[in-house]
Structures are given as structure tokens and as C-alpha cells.
Amino acid sequence: MDGKKIEDLKEKILNFFAKYPTEQFKPKVLARRLAIKGDADYRSFQHILNELYQEKAVLRGKGKRYCRANPPISHKLAGTLSISKSRNGIVSLLPPNTGTVNISSRFLSTALDGDLVNVVLFAHHKYEINEVITEQGSDGEIIEVIQRSKRPIVGVLDKSKNFLFVIPDDQKTGRDIYIPRGKTSGAKPGEKVVVQIESWESPALNPEGLIIERLGKAGEVHSEMLAVVREFQLPLDFPHDIRSESELINETIPKEEYKNRLDLRELTCFTIDPIDAKDFDDAVSIETQENGNFKIGVHIADVSHYVREDTALDKEALKRGTSVYLADNVIPMLPEKLSNNICSLRPNEDRLTYSVFIDISARGIVKKYSIEKSVINSKRRFNYEEVQKIIEGGHDHFAEPIGAMHRLSQLLLKKRLKEGSIDFESIETKFLFNKEGKPTEILKKPRLDSHRLVEEFMLLANQVVAKHIGLIKKHHNICPFIYRVHDAPPPGKLTDLASFVEHLGYSFNVSSGITSHALQKLLSDAKGKEEENVINEVAIRSMAKAIYSEKNIGHFGLGFKYYSHFTSPIRRYPDLVVHRLLNEYTSKIPHQRSEQLQQKIPYICEQSSERERIAVEAERASVKVMQVEYMKRHLGDTFHAIISGVTNFGLFVEITDLLVEGLVRVRDMEDDYYVFDEKKYSLTGRKTKKRYRLGDKVKIQVVRVDPEERRIDFVLID
């Protein structure tokens, strides 16, 4: 074979592999696909294939199978990979680059969720290599894993005839992980384990890993809850140096500190929290003035006095970002000595606070306010149910101030909704547990007026603090601030929402743009209806996510021009920083300090937003574990439900009384062949014409429960 023929065949082989970037082929199969005939040509083909292997243009795996190698590295862009459940990825480019790159699942190579990778853009997208700027949403391919994510993978150890492997819980991993002999850490098939990837040389092969922790028997509630903790890398304990630092904090308030603060120890204030709460962030007070106005007091634990900037305790709090409220326990942001003791506004104990006093007219208009460091002594620890009884006419020593607070909160709510705030009424549930930690009951949490009372006061305080700083920043060049911002919803998602509710008999016109008033009207129309929770959930999913930002764009959902988080510093890191910034705003900030804060605040916002996202996902996963465990004892039972989602493979339905969601699979709908209509959110029987739509009420039976997959399957009952 002459030189030209050799080069032509090389190009032919490489072009073939380019069409099948993730597949591998034995030489004879490859030769047949390339129409190589005759012994002489086949020997030449083998020789050329070996040359390509030596040149690292192709890779050779087990069984002498060949596959595509990475393309020549040019114009590489580095970024962090995020993989969706559909196995497609997005690479967020690192500075100085900007933008994102979409990665189809077949171009992920050996990268995993969270990996630092190099990508190249496909040729048909424009980019300037000098400035290294890409368009948002450019398409590309991962060519190299720069650094593996340290995130461990949780899964179930299984065994085939010849080897052991781990089936990951998270669909994002996409591959089973081969476990070589001697790397099982003693785990047996059927156990829930944590595995660390050790090598993954080719996308045509499975990754190899090492089991680093055994969590217990798969499917058992303790093992599954521990799996949630490991999956989201939640820290169950505080490091020794953090515990030591917190133990050194003096519980006694120095006499000098009283002199530097507004003394409110004689003020009638009290806390209102869930019955099982231990960390009390906020206390409230109210005074009725002679002119009919109200003076609200919102008193927030001054965590910033104890957790000083850049200490080990502060760095750990930033790392955690937020307390995480799992279905059966809390993973706190701060050690217990601080969260449940020194900073918690316990009754009849002096506590350091930040107080916001707001004078409000009888029409709900803010007349003036003041923000001051203070010391309080809470007169009572109420739970929501106790306050609700007082609101409904129960006798109590604090009935008068609670009654005034209730009336004012209703006025504030009405005014807020009128001004464009959206009131999402998502119903929450709670579990009752037996001694073994297994759920015995699922209860809906009622939405009480006492919840509204606290919520309205906290919203007002957060708004006042943000506006206070925002107006100062307009007139002075001072340090940045942490705002809680919420962008307007993406138009496409609102169109989907409008289409969805139309099929439930609701009107929601988005053709002339959308306002928060229109969304609020939709939610009000659905209030009290059986489909209310489904509409609320779909509406929430159509919204942009609220985040923390140093740039104030307002809060669409609340209808506020200025908003921040100030009222929960025990459990949210941004609130703690806002307290510090408020303190710095009381005096002129040196230019050097201002520059320092301008560099730190964006990172704090990004970190806090990310930790909040992880906490929400972990909380949902823990709830699913408990729901599945509860439903294990209800196999064969029937329930009333509502269709909460429609796909080509089945109906997602939610049990009305329990808010437990599961799937009715098309394969179990044996009475007919069903046709999926994506636009009408429906499945329709070809023969019977029976139609199931989003929001329809159905009766279902529990037929399968899989704790390892956190999955519940139902069938429809006529």
C-alpha cells in the first residue's frame, strides 16, 4: 500500500471514530464497517491502526477494542462541569473567560459532575481566542479532566459473576463503578457504600473506584439518611479547633457591653417559633402610640458579636453557609453552644441583639425607623400553636400585644399583596417517628395566622434594613452590601405555566408581559381548591431562583425594590455578614477596607447561594427517604391523588392527604395503548379515548416501593 493510500486510510479511520466518539470496536468489526477486504489489505489496516495507537490518535482498551482519542488540544477553555439528570452538561468557564458551554452527554468523555475540565468549542460557534470570550450556551466537547471533584459517590455494592461494582444513587454519574479486588473495605453486596473514583482512562470503559466508607444495608432508613448526608457532603460534626474556639467564648455579657447598647431589658418582647425549635433568632415587640400608630420592634440575635470575621469559627460558618433541616435532624451552621445557648434568645436571659424599630401608621405606611445594637430579655417563649389560640380568643397575659400584632400583620399582608407581592402557599409536611427513627405518620403543617404574624414582621425588617443601606449607597461611595434578589421569570417558563393552568380551567395571559399581580391573582383563584398545591409547585418551578448578590436588582416575587436577609444570623451566613456591615456603616469606612469588602462580598454571595441550593436539595432528598419508608407499610393500600406531572412514560401523581409523589407507569396502564400529548399535558387511550390530564383527580394503589431508588410506583384504580 503506497503512502497516499496509507494516509487516506488513516483519515478514513479517524473520520469513522469521529462519528462514534464514545464507542469502541474490535479490529475485524472496524474493518468490516470500513469495507476493508482481502488478507493483504486487512494486514495493512492492522499495521495502520497500530500506528495510530502509537501516535495516540486512537485508544486501545480491553479485548483489543479501539476507540477515539481526545482531539488535538487547541483553544482550550477551563471550567467547572455540572451534569443534569438527563446526562447533559454545562461547563461554567473560569476567569478570565466568561459564559457557559453546553456539553452533550456523548461529549462528556470521562468527566463527572463537579470536575474541573478543559473544553473546546465546536467550529460553527464564534469566539475570539485573544479575549477568550464565548457566547452563552455555546456547544463544545470536554477534552481533558484537569482535576477530579472531591465529591464522593454514594451507591449500592453489587456483584456479577466475575466482579464487583457500585451502582450510583445519583443518575448524574451515568456509569457503574468497577471495584477491583482488595478495594472493597470489607463491604458486602447489598450494602450502601461511599466510593472514590481512582481512575477512568476511556469513556468506552467503566471507571474504577475504591470503597472508602460502608453506610449499612441498602434500603434501611438509617443507611439511606446517612447516604443523603454523604451525597451532599454535609458535615455531621464540627472540627476540633472549631469546637475549642466556641467553648472559649464567655457566656457572661461584660458590663461594658451594656453601656454601649440600647438597654431594652424592661421592654415586653417575646419569641414565636416552632414547638421543637432550640435556636431562637428573633423576638418581637409592639407599642401602640397615642396617635394610633404602631411601633414594631424586631430584635435579632447579634451573632456578629461572638463570631468575629476571619476566625476559624467564621470560616467554618461560611463554608457551611446555612443550617440544613433534614427530615429527622438539623445540621447547624454554628456549634450548639452558640446556636442553642449564647446567641439563642431564650426567655428571662439577657441577650445581645440588633433591634429594628419601625413606626407604622394605621394604614401600614412606614413613618420612620431606627436600627441599633441592643440588649434584651425575652419575657416568654411562645410556639406558633399557642399564639394561634390567643389570636382566636384564648386568654393570656400577652393577649393584648399579640392581638395588636395580629391585626397589624394582616394589614401589612393586604398592603404587600396589593403592591405586587406574590404569596406562595406551598403546603409542607412533617413526620412523626417511633423509637427506631422510622416515620409512623405524615402530617400536613397548617398555615396559621401566627406564622403570618412573624413572617410579615421579618419581611418588613429585612426590607427596612436593605432600603436603609440602599439609600445611603446612593449618596456615598461606601462598601458593598448583600442583597436578596429575585429576577423576573423566564418568558418561556411562564408560557408553559399559562398552558398548564388553562387546562385546569384558569386564565393566565402572558402575551402582553407578566407582572407579579397576575401571578398572585392566579394563586388566589386556586386557593382552597384541590389542585392548589400542584399549581403552587408548578408556579414556583416557573420562577427564577432567589439568590444573594452584591448588585441590587430588586425582588420580583415579593415586589420589593430593596430586600436583604437580616433576621436569621444563627442559621444563615449572609444575615451574619449583614449585621457586620450595618455596624461598619455607622462610621466612615477607610478606603482600604472598602476595597477589601468589594472583593470579598461577591464570593460570599456566590458561596451562600450555592450552599442554600445544596441544602434545599438535601432536605428534599431526606423527605423522599422518609416518604418511601412510610409507604413501605402501605403496599396495596389505596389513596386519593392528583396528577402532578405527565410524561411519555407515565403519570406523576401526588397523594392528596400526604403530599407523597410517585409514578403511574405507562407499562402498568394495561387497559389501553396510551398516546402522549406534550402540549395538552395528557395521556389518551387510543381505543377507549380515556384521557388523563395534569391536575386530574385519580384514585391510586401502591404497588411498588424501592427505598434504594427512592421511588414509589402506583397503579390507577377505576
pLDDT digits (tens, 9 = 90+) for 35-64: 888 888 888 888 888 888 887 778 887 777
Q: For 435-449, write each residue's pLDDT tens digit.
A: 999 999 999 888 899
- Residue length, the chain? 718
Query: Is residue 30 located within the same domain as residue 158?
Result: no
* 376-400: pLDDT as tens digits: 999 999 999 999 999 999 999 999 9
Q: Are residues 54 and 89 in the same domain?
A: no
Is-contact 500 492, C-beta < 8 A?
no
Quickly state the pLDDT bin for 16 (edges 50, 70, 90).
Answer: confident
pLDDT given at position 128? 42
Omega before residue 96 within 30° of 0, cis = yes
- Residue 422 pLDDT > 80, yes or no? yes
Residue 495 has pLDDT above 80, yes or no: no
Amino acid letter at 549? S
Last residue in a domain, options 68, 103, 124: 68
CATH number at 679 reads 2.40.50.140
127: pLDDT confidence band, cut at 50, 70 and 90?
A: very low
What number is the average pLDDT over the span 453-457?
97
Residues 204 and 293 occupy one common structural domain = no
The predicted model gives 655-682 an average pLDDT of 92
Whether residues 401 and 504 share a domain: the answer is no
Mean pLDDT score, 184-196: 95
Is residue 61 included in any domain, yes or no? yes
Is residue 584 over pLDDT 70? yes
223 is a domain residue? no
User: What's the Cα-to-Cα distance from 179 to each of 58, 110, 228, rounded to whole Å?
Assistant: 26, 17, 22
**Angle, CA of 360, 362 and 367, to the nearest 5°:** 30
Least confident piece of the model among 213-222, 240-249, 678-687: 678-687
Residue 209 lies in a domain: yes
Give the pLDDT confidence of 624-657 residue by residue, as tens digits. 999 999 999 999 999 999 998 899 999 999 999 9
CATH code, domain carrying 15: 1.10.10.10
Is there a contact between 353 and 368 (Cβ–Cβ < 8 Å)? no
* Neighbouring-strand partners of residue 429: 444
Q: Quick one: pLDDT at residue 291?
A: 87
Residue 676 has pLDDT above 50, yes or no: yes
Write down the residue that cell numbers 488535538 correspond to: 72
**Is 425 inside any structural domain?**
yes
Mean pLDDT of all residues in 322-345: 96
Q: Based on the domain organization, do 105 and 187 belong to the same domain?
A: no
- Which residues on neighbouring strands pair with residue 68, listed in sequence order? 58
* Count of domains forming the chain: 6
Task: State the CATH number of the domain containing residue 105.
Answer: 2.40.50.690
Give the confidence band of 296 by pLDDT, cuts at 50, 70, 90: very high
For residue 531, what are the domain limits? 491-543
Q: Which of 19-28, 331-340, 507-516, 693-702 has the lowest mean pLDDT?
A: 507-516
Q: Which of 269, 325, 237 is nearest to 571 (CA)?
A: 325
Q: Are 45 and 58 within one domain?
A: yes
- The answer for 190, left when phi > 0, alpha when psi is -120 to 50, beta otherwise, is left
Write the burial class of residue 348 (CB in 10 Å: 0-12 exposed, 13-18 middle, 19+ buried). exposed
CATH code of 211's domain: 2.40.50.700
- Band of pLDDT at residue 133, cut at 50, 70 and 90: very low
- Mean pLDDT, all residues of the chain: 89
Range from 6-20, 113-127, 457-471 carrying the lowest mean pLDDT: 113-127
* Three state DSSP letters for 536-556: HHHHHHHCCCCEEECCCCCEC
In a domain, 400, yes or no: yes
553 shares its domain with 535: no
Task: Render pLDDT for 85-112 as a digit per residue (tens, 0 to 9).
Answer: 788 999 999 887 878 899 998 899 999 9
On whether both 441 and 531 belong to a single domain, the answer is no
Q: Are 132 and 97 in contact (CB under 8 A)?
A: yes
- CA distances to 12, 22, 43, 71, 688 from 47, rounded to whole Å, are 14, 23, 6, 22, 63
pLDDT at 130 over 50: no
Q: How far is CA 566 from CA 408, 463, 464, 563, 601, in A?
A: 21, 9, 10, 9, 15
On whether residue 259 sits in a domain, the answer given is yes
Q: Among 314, 311, 305, 309, which Cα is nearest to 261's?
A: 305
- Indicate whether 69 pLDDT > 90: no
- What pLDDT, on a 0 to 100 scale, did the predictor assign at position 194? 96
Task: Mark whether 556 and 470 lie in a shared domain.
Answer: yes
**Are 566 and 711 members of one domain?**
no
- Which of 254, 261, 330, 331 lies closest to 299, judged by CA? 261
Q: What is the pLDDT of residues 137-185, one digit of tens each?
A: 688 999 999 999 888 899 999 999 889 999 999 888 888 999 998 999 9
Amino acid 131: pLDDT: 42
Kind plus residue range of the DSSP H or E element containing 467 = helix 449-475
CA 602 – CA 557 distance, rounded (Å): 22
In a domain, 232, yes or no: no
Tell me what the mean pLDDT of segment 495-520 comes to: 75
Whether 226 is covered by a domain: the verdict is: no
- Residues contacting 570, CB < 8 A, separation 6+: 279, 281, 301, 303, 323, 333, 334, 338, 339, 343, 344
Single residue among 561, 591, 619 that ends a domain in this structure? 619
Across the strands, what pairs with 439? Answer: 433
Instruction: Please give, one letter per residue, the 3-state secondary structure of 374-394.
Output: EEEECCCEEEHHHHHHHHCCC
Q: Are residues 595 and 701 in the same domain?
A: no
Least confident window among 368-372, 414-418, 501-505, 570-574: 501-505
Residue ending a domain, choose from 112, 147, 182: 147
Distance CA 242, CA 496 (A): 48
* pTM, 2 dp: 0.83
Give the pLDDT confidence of 299-317 residue by residue, as tens digits: 999 999 999 999 999 999 9
The answer on 303 and 211 residing in a single domain is no
- Euclidean distance between CA atoms 613 and 547, whole angstroms: 9
H/E element, 499: helix 491-502
